[in-house]
Structure 1
Amino acid sequence: MKAYEIVTEPINPQLYADYVLRPEAGAVTLFTGHVREWTRGIRTLYLAYEAYIPMAEKMLAKIGTEIEEKWPGTKTAIAHRIGELKIGEIAVVIAVSSPHRRDAYEANEHAIERIKELVPIWKKEIWENGTEWIGDQRRKPEEGETP
């Protein structure tokens, strides 16, 4: 296990929580992003993720550095899975430890938003009625636009 990695096997969140846990940490936040079945009324069958792995891991590490600079005393681990993922499977895990809980929560939220902005990972949604590669996941779909 590396602190910042792209993986092809199911993610064990506890490994990442254990990695960031240390005596000076009063808080550990653990975020897991899962494949959901329904998105805006359309049933998802599964997701397929692809990544440019060397750059993706570099960008995950950059996010970790940003967190450590903005919230001193934090330690972060991030993994994102690629390949075909079934409903309920974990696509991403972010573990952050910090002396105080507020920093751990804020840093964790920062991490997921930055992943969506920076990391070259592409998601294909496979629905009952079609498929689509999803680009910028932060953008809200326009009225009538397929999610």
Structure 2
Amino acid sequence: MTTTLTSAVKPRAEDSFAISFAPLSLEEIYALSNDPANGAVVIMSGVVRNQTDGQPVIALEYQAYEPMALRIFYQIAADIRLSTPDVNRVVIHHRTGRLQVGEISVLVAVGCPHRSEAFEACQYAIDTLKHQAPIWKKEHWEDGSSRWVSIAACETSGENC
């Protein structure tokens, strides 16, 4: 699958996309991604971890250019449906603001009749989001220092951030 951003992509009513300051809920994401025709719901939960490359992290702060990020989310869902037309639901929600270690920063869920397609689509969605969505995070380290990084820069640089 390859993502080509077009301004004409509109979200489907059965899907859900959000960028939110409020905490994300696994139960809500599961409910939004479930459908009677599903044989599988795969959820990927991104969580703030306590270190980056051995550097102790105390918090992450996320910012997003919301209009463009949502268009990327819509396009991801459209691309998934081009390659796997029987996908029933695509849900992508991302947090903004300051998050503590252990908090959920992103939830991606795909509901589909078969598990292999659901796993593949979910992995495509999170990988593509991390490479293309205009979302930045500021790592706050234990020593009081911090740095801003694009989540896409982490993926393309080979850094484990």
For this pair of structures, how many residues does the alignment match? 142
When normalised by structure 1's length, the TM-score is 0.91
Q: Give the residue type in structure 2 aligned to 1:13.
A: L
* Equivalences for residues 90-129 of structure 1 within 5 A: 90-129=104-143
User: What percent of counterpart residues are identical?
Assistant: 35
Distance in 2 of aligned mates of 1:116 and 1:21: 24
Question: d(CA) in 2 for partners of 1:10 and 1:28?
Answer: 21
Is residue 17–residue 96 contact of structure 1 (8 Å, CA) maintained in 2? Answer: no
Assess if the C-alpha contact under 8 Å between 1:6 and 1:53 holds in 2: yes
Once residues 67 and 137 of structure 1 are traced to their aligned partners in structure 2, the CA distance between those partners, rounded to angstroms, is: 24
Aligned to 2:149: 134
Q: TM-score, normalised by structure 2?
A: 0.83
Aligned mates of 2:86, 2:33 — CA distance in 1: 11
Residue among 13, 19, 38 paired with 1:6: 19
Cα RMSD, aligned residues only:
1.5
Residue 46 of structure 1: aligned partner: 59
The match for 2:80 is 67
Q: Is the partner of 1:73 in helix, strand or coil?
A: coil
Q: Give the distance between the partners of 1:7 and 1:89, measured in 2 at CA.
A: 13
1:34 Cα shift? Answer: 0.3
Could you tell me which runs of 5 or more consecutive residues in structure 1 were left unpaired when the two chains were aligned: none
Measured after TM superposition, the shift of residue 57 of structure 1 is 1.1
Partner of 2:102: 88
Q: What is the deviation of 1:122?
A: 0.5
Shift of 1:71: 1.4
Mean CA deviation greater in 104-113 or 68-77: 68-77
Contact 1:16 1:77 in 2 (8 A): yes
